[in-house]
Amino acid sequence: MALKDITTRLTPLEIMQDAPVIPVIVLQDRTQAVAMARALVAGGIRMLEVTLRTPVALACIEAIAKEVPEAVVGAGTVRSAADAQAAALAGARFAVSPGYTQEVGKACHDLGLPLLPGVATGSEIMQAQEGGYTALKFFPALPAGGTAMLKAWHGPFNDVRFCPTGGITAGNAREFLALPNVACVGGSWLVPTDALASQDWARITRLASEAAGLPRG
């Protein structure tokens, strides 16, 4: 999918359809953010989920938003309206949450921040749909049932598209991507901790290129 002008607002489904994988990124050092983002973009991965799990996460989002305009940086682990607001102020273009609450859904809607809400049960899918969300993160994908659960959901929720995250690796991503209700997967393998530590940007670009080339059903 060719990415539209990123000065315009993207829909959650467009974010999920841009590439087969959205990298789940945990950064401990702000100085690594820009080079890492450029390495991912060079490999064909532009939707970048920087998780709000470290004290420097917002600063990393801000740096990527300002210095890597060809990337679309989002905030992961958004758990509250305050998280959503802070992410938007830092320059995040989308948000990803580990679960779904009306508070987070409304906050992102009011901010104009596309949200990929996390779900793990049928009831949670229905709650997210009531909030207007049909492009959802399936989390934690492997512990919550993996491909078998997604196949079971395809009947009653055939209007929903998922981004399975949690336990997804280069080894099993193809199994998920082959499913008709999976738009992409989320995974941390594109940005390994040791590659960050050694600033091995060429390795990250290679991993991104391999991920960008994965087939989808």
CB atoms within 10 A of CB 35: 15
For the question of residue 14 being annotated catalytic, the response is no
Active site residue 137: yes
63 Cβ partners below 8 Å, 6+ apart?
30, 33, 34
- Which residues, at least 6 apart from 19, have a Cβ–Cβ distance to it below 8 Å? 1, 44, 45, 46, 47, 184, 211, 212
Whether the Cβ atoms of residue 134 and residue 102 lie closer than 8 Å to each other: no
Q: What residues form DSSP beta bridges with 72?
A: 47
Q: Fill in the DSSP letter of residue 28.
A: S
Cα–Cα distance for residue pair 130/134, rounded to 1 Å? 9
CA–CA distance, 48 with 186 (Å, rounded to integer): 10
Active-site pick, 130, 137, 175, 210: 137
DSSP 73: E
Q: Which position among 14, 49, 62, 70 bears the catalytic label?
A: 49
Enzyme catalytic residues? 49, 137
